[in-house]
Amino acid sequence: MAKAKRSIPELYEAARGGERRALGRLLTLVERGGPDADAVSELAHADSDGAHIVGITGAPGAGKSTLVGQLVTDLVEAGAKPAVLAVDPSSPLTGGAILGDRIRMDDIAEHGPAPGTQRPSTFIRSMATRGHSGGLALAVPLAVRLFDACGYDPVIVETVGVGQVEVDVVGAADTAVVVMTPGMGDAVQANKAGLLEVADVFVINKADRPGANDVRRDLDLMLDLSHMTGQESEHGYRPPIVMASALKGEGNVEVWKTVEDHRAHLRATGQETIRRQNRIRTEVRARLAQAMSNAAEAAMDGEGAAQLHRAETAEISPNEATNELLRQLLRES
């Protein structure tokens, strides 16, 4: 770099002071994982302050980004400082990605400076799922924590609701919003993808299109069913359904009001704490799984290579080799 490379604590201080270039840089470190990401995590942990984390998911093209754009515009106008993490899939073939969420949030990328500052009061970051398994499960909570520590609230995470990890990521939010659209049996699809269980708020977007009421009816029916079978929350909460037409700027105010109502409900019933504890548990589990997997790889390349070779040459069984390697691993730690 032409300019002096800054240390992680320097970048972090700058980011907390409102420098978006520094925050952008830190998010890259977080995304890459490893010791740098851990160092950022440690710093952010001390300063994170309980921002409202809102997950938004649904099929590709449902209008999630358009809706997020509207929500963020409203939030900025109301004096809030929202951040958006927009996750899109990487190509499994090349590892590349076209991240096209920003284009839908057009107006806000340059949305006027927050009162009394020179800087736009929002931050949008696009993130690709990348190939590595579980990478998203590690990077998203960290990025969210960093936004929180830098004073952003709410933090909105958009994912495509098709993969399990993506659904889990949204399910771990304080408030999970599932966006559906008329046509193509969306309610049934959402059910299959496991989205109905995680939803705290449903949005039927593109309500300007025919069939919106049919989706609403299907959805109501499914919620009735889960109510009867007792799957619905024990806290007397039934996810509300909000109709919206994000492209026309209709329904977004109602959507956000419903999201806030959900948060109030969480607080009133003590569930906010439970959700947060579950979120930490999920994060620790993901980190632990990653650490174990790294250790396993290292063991197969290093100390355990001899055992592995014995299995490869059929001298011992794969089972015996595994147990031997496991014993080595546990001895070392």
Ligand X SMILES: Nc1nc2c(ncn2[C@@H]2O[C@H](COP(=O)(O)OP(=O)(O)O)[C@@H](O)[C@H]2O)c(=O)[nH]1
**Which residue is at the shortest CB distance from Mg ion?**
65
Distances (CA, A) of 9 to 6, 22, 38, 144, 303: 8, 11, 12, 18, 36
x/- track of binding to Mg ion for residues 184-223 (CB under 5 A): ----------------------------------------
Neighbours of 137 (CB within 10 A): 21
Q: Give the residue, chosen from 25, 104, 125, 275, that forms a contact with ligand X under the rule CB under 6 A.
A: 104
With b meaning 16 or more CB within 10 Å and e meaning fewer, what string describes 77-95? eeebbbbbbbbbbbeeeee
Q: Which residue has the tokens 């009421």?
A: 213
Using rule CB under 8 A, residue 194 touches other proteins: no
**Can residue 216 be called a binding residue for ligand X (CB under 6 A)?**
no
Options 52, 64, 125, 262; binder of other proteins; rule CB under 8 A: 125
Peptide bond before residue 154 is cis, with ω within 30 degrees of 0: yes
65 near Mg ion, judged by CB under 5 A: yes
- 304 binds ligand X per the rule CB under 6 A: no
Q: Under the criterion CB under 6 A, does residue 62 sit at the interface with ligand X?
A: yes
Residue 57 binds ligand X, judged by CB under 6 A: no
C-alpha–C-alpha distance, residues 260 and 254, integer Å: 10
Shortest approach of Mg ion to residue 253 CB, angstroms?
Answer: 21
Binding mask 83-112 for Mg ion (x = CB under 5 A): ------------------x-----------
**Contacted entry of ligand X, Mg ion, other proteins, none for residue 194, CB cut-off 5 to 8 Å set by kind:** none
Q: How far apart are CA 139 and CA 136, in angstroms?
A: 5
120 contacts 191 by C-beta, under 8 angstroms: no
Structure tokens at 237: 């909460």
Site membership for other proteins, residue 39 (CB under 8 A): no
Q: Which does 148 bind (CB under 5 to 8 A by kind): other proteins, Mg ion, ligand X, none?
A: none
Q: Quote the tokens at residue 128.
A: 């690709």
Residues 98 and 89: beta-carbon distance below 8 Å: no
Q: Supply the minimum distance, in Å, between the C-beta of residue 168 and other proteins.
A: 22
Sole window of 106-114, 163-171, 173-181, 272-280 interacting with other proteins (rule: CB under 8 A): 106-114
Residue 217 within binding range of other proteins, rule CB under 8 A? no
Q: Is there a contact between 36 and 8 (Cβ–Cβ < 8 Å)?
A: yes
Pick the closest to residue 158 from 296, 41, 61 (CA basis).
Answer: 61
1 interface partner picked from other proteins, Mg ion, ligand X, none, CB below 5 to 8 A per type: other proteins
Q: How far is the CB of 304 from ligand X (least distance, A)?
A: 45
Among 155, 180, 246, 255, binds ligand X (CB under 6 A): 246
